[in-house]
Amino acid sequence: MTLHFEPLSLDRQDEYTQLLAQCGQKASDYSFVNLWGWAEEYGLQWAFWNDLAVLRQTRPEVLYWAPVGDWSRVDWKVFQTMIPESQCFIRVPEQLKDIWVEQLFGVAVRECRDHWDYLYSVRELVELKGKRFHKKKNLLNQFLKQVEYEFIPLDEETIEGALALQTEWFLWRHRESDMTLQAENRAIVKVMHDWRKLSGLFGAGLAVGGRMIAYTIAERLDRETVVIHFEKGCPNYKGVYQAMNQLFLAISCPEYDLVNREQDLGDPGLRKSKESYNPVDHLQKFEICLG
């Protein structure tokens, strides 16, 4: 038996999301919104087999991602026979790594710290109590005192304001000639354009004088976790990122315990920024070769 891969499609979004709900660990990489936004950049494809969605990228090279579904019910020895010999999987959550190491032979494991998800307490990031959050609280208070802002939930109409800000933000940063920024911009614009077609997507923006100066785009991962996919702010407003983060979690996410702010991809500045918000945990991921 072989796997039949095809490009991701919106008409199988619900089927995929139901399989993701059965995963023992839900990494940010595997949310449908994330897959959809980056599908063209990575040439993402999927194949559905025995209540699993098997994912792979085809650009810049063929690499498999972790299968999505109820990992505890899969005959992994059969699955291994359907995969090209010595195939490597990336972005594999720790729980699936442990299952494969226990049940399969010839498993080579490499830790991928650059892809670990950062997990934070929603309550801590709303309250910003104590010395650990002193700088964040100061920046937030400066913004709240100095800026007359409007908090705007994102929908099919208001997403246009966020798209305008994203265009401006990219032009501010584009002079850096960073290919990663260009790819991210394409992913963000794709998600914004398909806003009404994507399930579970929500977000908010901050506006001054009718013009959006910050936005955040999020998705429900499970009952207790929300994932922040994209967040941008106008650099002319000091504390705008701290305000966007705190207000969004306080107003739009009170029912969640954890917020997943994705990975740092090994970028030193991004890692420092993510650590400065004091994560309560990381969702570890690995590269695994089945040989």
Length of the chain equals 291
DSSP 30: G
> Residue 260 phi/psi, 5° resolution?
-95, 120
Give the separation between CA 20 and CA 15, rounded to whole angstroms. 9
Please give the single-letter amino acid code of residue 163. Answer: L
Tell me the backbone φ, ψ of residue 68, rounded to 5 degrees.
-115, 130
In-domain check, residue 63 = yes
pLDDT number for residue 176: 55
**Which pTM does this prediction carry?**
0.95
| Residue 134 sits in the same domain as residue 58 | no
Residue 283 included in any domain = no
Half-sphere exposure (Cβ direction) of 228: Cα atoms closer than 13 Å: 25
Is residue 76 within 8 A of residue 103, CB to CB? The reply is yes
In this prediction, residue 47 carries a pLDDT of 98
Query: What pLDDT, on the 0 to 100 scale, is given for residue 69?
Result: 98
DSSP states along 85-131: TTEEEEEEEHHHHHHHHHH-SSEEEEE-GGGPEEEEEHHHHHH--SG
**Residue 177: predicted pLDDT:** 58
Is 218 found in the same domain as 254?
yes
d(CA 42, CA 60): 7
CA dist., res. 163 & res. 167, Å (int)? 6
Which domain covers residue 205, as residue numbers?
Answer: 118-262
Q: Do residues 155 and 247 both lie within one domain?
A: yes
**Contact residues for 208 (Cβ-Cβ < 8 A; gap 6+):** 147, 148, 149, 150, 237
Q: Is 126 part of any domain?
A: yes
State residue 86's pLDDT score. 80
For residue 277, being part of any structural domain is answered with no
CA–CA separation, 113 vs 105, rounded Å? 24
pLDDT at 281: 98
Separation between Cα atoms, residue 201 and residue 32, nearest integer Å: 10
Does residue 35 sit in the same domain as residue 100? yes
Can you give the pLDDT at residue 175? 63
Assigned domain for 246 exists: yes
End-to-end CA distance of the chain: 19
Q: What is the CATH number of the domain that holds 206?
A: 3.40.630.30
**pLDDT (tens place) for every residue of the chain, 291 residues total:** 689 999 999 999 999 999 999 999 999 999 999 999 999 999 999 999 999 999 999 999 999 999 999 999 999 999 999 998 888 999 999 999 999 999 998 899 999 999 999 999 999 999 999 999 999 999 999 999 999 999 999 999 999 999 999 999 998 886 655 788 899 999 999 999 999 999 999 999 999 999 999 999 999 999 999 999 999 999 999 999 999 999 999 999 999 999 999 999 999 999 999 999 999 999 999 999 987
> Which of 58, 87, 116 marks a domain boundary?
116
Helix axes 179-193, 159-174, angle to 10 degrees: 170
Q: Are residues 146 and 99 both part of a single domain?
A: no
Same domain, 146 and 103: no
Residues 50 and 150 in one domain: no
Structural domain includes residue 154: yes
